Structure 1
Amino acid sequence: MNRTNGRRALAIAALFVLAGCNTVERLTQVGQVPELKPIEDPRNEPGYRPVSLPVPPPGPSVSAGANSLWREGARGFFRDQRARRLGDVLTVNVTIADRANLSNETSRSRTNSDSLGLANVLGFEEMVTGFLPGDVVPDTMVDAESGMSNRGTGEVARSEDIDLNIAAVITQILPNGNLVVQGRQEIRVNYEVREIVVGGIVRPEDVTP
């Protein structure tokens, strides 16, 4: 029995030591700017799933000759510099205009009234008239009133404008040629880190050089 209690005490002490180490580590980070995450492959993140959409079947491919100046899939004589392959980087423009306004008002009122009479208390009610000023009415000897009123108002107004460019990586090419892109960027402002995540499907025609 003593050995069991000793093990429990040792386990509890170990938990307190671990909690204390965590507290000390957080205290050492006070006043320091928060760290940003390193660049990672978005396909390796937990919860990543490839996109699957209904698309028409691909058309017949035309192969170029051995000495042809045109490469397969090219749309012009010169090389297309726009991002279109897996791993290519796109620049996504993000514009956010956020407005929020919250107003709250609370009102509460309460009134209480108590009355107590001592009409007959073994004759002692007559003795009260000797040392109390004025006329004493035993039926309404004690009378009390109380009132309470509370009122509170609150208002919160917030506005935020964000206009920035985020680098997104092509993670998948659909059979119809559309590109699946994902990007993430962290912004550190006043010791606060904000993470902006973009993802979606882009048509190659919408990608500007």
Structure 2
Amino acid sequence: MRRYVALGLCIALTACGTWGRLKDVGRAPGLSETQAPPAPAAEPSLTQLSTAQRGGEAADPPVAASASLFRNGAGALFQDQRASKVGDILTIRIDISDKASVSNATSRSRSGSEAGGASALFGLEKIVKRAIGVDSNTLVGSSTESSNDGKGSTTRSETISMTMAAIVTAVLPNGNLVIKGRQESRVNFELRELLVSGIVRPQDVARDNSIRHTQIAEARISYGGKGQLTDAQQARWGQQLLDVLSPF
């Protein structure tokens, strides 16, 4: 009974996945919704303060939080424009061109031999030879030999070169910035997605408000996608299931 239940559950899950893919036939992958990042509230400027009409007369304009010409959230004249607080945007320059090649070889061998005997054994050597058929001169003899040979090599190469924008999502107590960026691009029926997140130091942000990917701590860079080309490069679900379950 359990066998039939497990088989039915597997067929149901497969049917659900197949139906979901059938609905996407002839359609391009959808883009995700743009999410509003957290950002501090900005005070309206003096020119943005509107007047409300009361009984045909203009009401007094609302009082601003401060009388400064530069409101919170506005670009200051002499302030550093580099990202420093939640909601700020900075540019990430990704230039990954890593190559690694590792090769090693190990060879080991050992051999040994031992021999022992007695040319005279209190006159009993002839009796021993007749009894066990072994000459007393070669009573003990041993020989051992072992060898081991191993080789291994690894070659890896990755290349990603692009520029994208990220948003400061949090400021740590020590002043470091937590950033997160997401970029999606769709060409015909193929969707490409780039995700970047990590922690940066404000001192590492360049004057043009950019930072290199090598200066991001706890960096998580994901470049992938979905669509017809990606689907063609993957094995069918039946083959993947066999690869997992087959012991051979």
Same fold (TM over 0.5): no
Q: What TM-score, normalized to structure 1?
A: 0.42
Q: What TM-score, normalized by structure 2, do the two folds share?
A: 0.36
